[in-house]
Structure 1
Amino acid sequence: MEEPQRARSHTVTTTASSFAENFSTSSSSFAYDREFLRTLPGLLIVAEIVLGLLVWTLIAGTEYFRVPAFGWVMFVAVFYWVLTVFFLIIYITMTYTRIPQVPWTTVEDVIWCIYYGLCFNGSAFVLYLSAAVVDASSVFPERDSHNFNSWAASSFFAFLVTICYAGNTYFSFIAWRSRTIQ
């Protein structure tokens, strides 16, 4: 005679790891720092993005590969444009506050003032200045006036974005200096 099969019970226990819990957000609201764009450094960053975009698109729309010096200008313009957009998004959305293990009040001041402010803006100022000089010295009249006009305009905008990075470097230095004195 066959024995009837007993019903088997399965107990499944699920747990959330503390790692996953710590990185989840407590609310689904989107954080946005509207006031930052109203400050002078915020406006300078927006100007850096717009003017930097003009620099590399004006060159990219030409036959810039015929003049090797424009490779340097393109590298500097695209590199700092991408990083500036990245830093603006990170700062405006306050994404850095989504990781609660880090003491953001302290780290934010250090990162923003020293790393972003002095290192990033200072290096952008120096490299953009060199790229603007290379850009201006590489512009020469040719039969195709489109290339000449685009290269001359990119040179003009390269000097403007250099001034913006210099301004942000100055404001970052002032902010860093005021924090070190306290």
Structure 2
Amino acid sequence: MASTSTGDVLPSGGKIFSTVPDLFFLPEFVFGGLVWILVASTKIPDTNPLGWVMFVSVFCFIGTTLWFFFFLCGANQSSIWPGLDVAYHFVASVFYLSASVILAYITFRTANFASISDELLKIYRLDISAVVMSYLATLLYFLHTIFSGIRWKRS
């Protein structure tokens, strides 16, 4: 019996701007890039584990950029791509969740020192912004995973 799918498994080209899971690409760029910028603009002491947060934000930003261009160029038309789409976004959401928890912990830990000087208060506010953006990026990657999984099961 022939396959009911005619190679139209995943959208490509301009169609990626009209499908639900793929609409999350642009907000993922924005919030992931903001996490990267906000964490990079703070002062990081030697004992601070924000290196993982930077790795996650840079890795996911570059990975999502490559993924977006694969979809845009139409290189995603093989039958393996729906599963890879789910796997990539699941890994990205787990990475971002772990980075968000670490970032929230570091921000909470430095809250006591924020009242000492204006410089520390500025860094504390940047960290709070980074935590919010990180959790939003986590949510976007998680939603992308869910909707990509639904699309995968339908294909």
Normalised to the residue count of structure 2, the TM-score between the two structures is 0.81
Give the letter aligned to residue 152 of structure 1. Answer: I
| Structure 1 gaps, min length 5 | 1-31, 97-103
Aligned length: 136
| Structure 2 gaps, min length 5 | 1-11
Residues 114-139 of structure 1, C-alpha deviations (whole Å, 9 max, x = no match)? 11x22100111111111101111110
What is the distance in 1 between the residues matched to 2:148 and 2:47?
35
Alignment of 1:105-116 (within 5 A): 105=77, 107=78, 109-111=79-81, 113-115=82-84
Alignment of 1:152 onto 2:128: yes
What is the distance in 1 between the residues matched to 2:47 and 2:87?
30
> Cα RMSD (Å) of the superposition?
1.7
Alignment of 1:55-134 (within 5 A): 55-94=35-74, 96=75, 105=77, 107=78, 109-111=79-81, 113-115=82-84, 117-134=85-102
% identity of equivalent residues: 27
Whose relative contact order is higher, 1 or 2, with alpha carbons under 8 Å and at least 6 apart? 2
Max radius of gyration: which structure?
A: 1
- Tell me what 2:3 maps to: none
What is the distance in 1 between the residues matched to 2:62 and 2:92?
12
Spell out structure 1 runs of 4+ moving beyond 6 A: none
